């Protein structure tokens, strides 16, 4: 037995990892285990969870509804930032971990626990996301990560351990995918996906239709934004959770939001994942379209760099960091005039803006027209180009005078 602990709060999902961790903690630490499941919109996964936790040895099980907090406080600020990791990943698992870890800390303090335990593997990103949040919010709490210390080495061995302890698990050796679901996305990793030469099997997708199976006619929807935050669909004001759910339904039906990518994990290796993010894909595209007419050139270009750094911080688990908070403050300033409506065309895996309007639009047809206008003197561009190109001209003259120069 390892060092005696009185009480441990476990991040509990009822999946393979956390199902066997309850008896493992009791066997190895002689402690009381309090299971905490964060509801971030994973749906049926929560059914029967409390009963299962108690049956497998937990003294108590909290099931906390964090969905609204997740959408309003983490998802929408990330969308406003335009943050996408490595061009594809819409950060579905990444920003769900901090909101869950925050509640783990709150309950650990309330219960007087000695430690928080999570089931993230020693090869993944989630261990970092959980632990950085705990360190930021409760630096004195111990952290237990079984995957880094127990003798179990594979998912097959986990299944064998569960069977030996009479614990039912939702993963079988026939469907060995590691999946993470929430209101924003569903991820798939492992199994045959570990070879990037393998195309995902036809039955892999559980939310989205394939583009081939999507309707043969496009769907049009209108999304209203208020200062960068989505507020309505087709003129109907919606709460944050309902809005995302509605966009998920539109996207899934039209085969939108499937990303198959090999990404660079924080811990050093590359991994392959397939992500289903139907509503999120629509939302990112619509928000970017609205910014195209409401942000000036300098702000937009600078914000692109901020978006990349923001995505990296979220991916790496630094939600509760001074830099992320500072970047969010910058983003909020940029969103002051990102108000308007975007008409989106959804068709067989594609979503494109089919119309954009804003009372704060910087698009001025009188200046942009190729027809005759009375506001733009084309002669002005000659002086502008002469000054812009002056450094190039001086450099070229120097090279003419000194052919050996670089």
Extract the annotated binding site. Answer: 11-19, 89, 94, 119, 121, 125-126, 129, 178, 187, 263, 275
- Binding residue numbers for L-aspartate: 121, 125-126
The catalytic position among 97, 103, 155, 324 is: 97
Question: Which residues, in sequence order, are CB contacts of 383 under 8 Å at separation 6+?
Answer: none
Q: Quote the tokens at residue 87.
A: 């061009």
- Of 17, 114, 180, 316, the active-site residue reads 17
Q: Which of 103, 114, 126, 155 is catalytic?
A: 126
Instruction: Clarify whether 140 is annotated catalytic.
Output: no
Residue ranges with strand state E in 171-317: 178-181, 186-189, 219-226, 229-233, 236-237, 258-264, 270-276
3-class DSSP string for 163-189: HHCCCCCCCCCCCCCEEEECCCCEEEE
103, 114, 155, 178: the catalytic one is 178
Whether 103 is catalytic is: no
Please tell me the total number of residues recorded for the chain in this structure: 406
Distance CA 41, CA 48 (A): 15
Q: Which residues are annotated as a binding site for ATP?
A: 11-19, 119
- Alpha carbon 282 to its chain's center: 14
3-state secondary structure of 31: coil
List the beta bridge partners of residue 159.
none
Q: Is 203 a catalytic residue?
A: no
- Sort residue 142 into left (φ over 0), alpha (ψ -120 to 50) or beta: beta
Per the annotation, the verdict on 126 as an active-site residue is: yes
Q: Binding-site residues for L-citrulline, please?
A: 89, 94, 125, 129, 178, 187, 263, 275
Q: Cα–Cα distance between 60 and 43 in angstroms, integer?
A: 21
By annotation, the residues acting in catalysis are 17, 97, 126, 178
């Amino acid at each position: 037995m390892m060092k005696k602990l009185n009480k441990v709060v476990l991040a509990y999902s009822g999946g393979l990892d956390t199902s066997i961790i309850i008896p493992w903690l009791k066997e190895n630490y002689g402690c009381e285990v309090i299971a905490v499941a964060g509801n971030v919109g994973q749906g049926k996964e929560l059914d029967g969870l409390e009963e299962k936790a108690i049956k497998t040895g937990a003294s108590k099980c909290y099931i906390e509804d964090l969905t609204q907090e997740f959408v309003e406080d983490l998802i929408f600020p990330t969308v406003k930032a335009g943050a996408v990791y490595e061009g594809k990943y819409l950060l579905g698992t990444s920003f769900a971990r901090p909101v869950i870890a925050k509640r783990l800390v709150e309950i650990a303090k309330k219960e007087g626990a000695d430690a928080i335990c999570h089931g993230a593997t020693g090869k993944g990103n989630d261990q970092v996301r959980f632990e950085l949040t705990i360190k930021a919010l409760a630096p004195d709490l111990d952290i237990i990560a079984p995957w880094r210390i127990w003798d179990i080495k594979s998912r097959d061995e986990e299944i064998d351990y569960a069977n030996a302890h009479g614990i039912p698990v939702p993963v079988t050796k026939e469907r060995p995918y590691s999946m993470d679901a929430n209101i924003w996305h569903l991820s798939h990793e492992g199994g045959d996906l570990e070879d990037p030469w393998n195309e995902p099997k036809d039955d892999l997708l559980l939310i989205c239709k394939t583009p081939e199976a999507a309707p043969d006619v496009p769907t049009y929807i209108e999304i209203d934004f208020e200062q960068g935050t989505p507020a309505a669909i087709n003129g109907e004001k919606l709460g944050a959770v309902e809005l995302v759910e509605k966009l998920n339904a539109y996207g899934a039906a039209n085969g939108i939001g499937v990303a198959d990518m090999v990404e660079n994990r924080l811990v050093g290796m590359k991994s392959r994942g397939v992500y289903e993010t139907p509503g999120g894909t629509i939302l990112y595209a619509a928000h970017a379209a609205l910014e195209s007419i409401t942000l000036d050139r300098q702000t937009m270009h600078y914000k692109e760099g901020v978006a990349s750094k923001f995505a990296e911080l979220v991916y790496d688990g630094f939600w509760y960091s001074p830099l992320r908070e500072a970047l969010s403050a910058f983003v909020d300033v940029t969103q002051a005039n990102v108000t308007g409506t975007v008409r989106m065309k959804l068709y067989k895996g594609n979503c494109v803006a089919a119309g954009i309007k804003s009372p704060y639009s910087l698009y001025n047809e009188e200046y942009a027209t190729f027809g005759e206008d009375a506001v733009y003197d084309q002669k002005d561009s000659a002086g502008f180009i002469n000054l812009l190109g002056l450094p190039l001209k001086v450099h070229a003259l120097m090279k003419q005078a000194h052919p050996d120069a670089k």
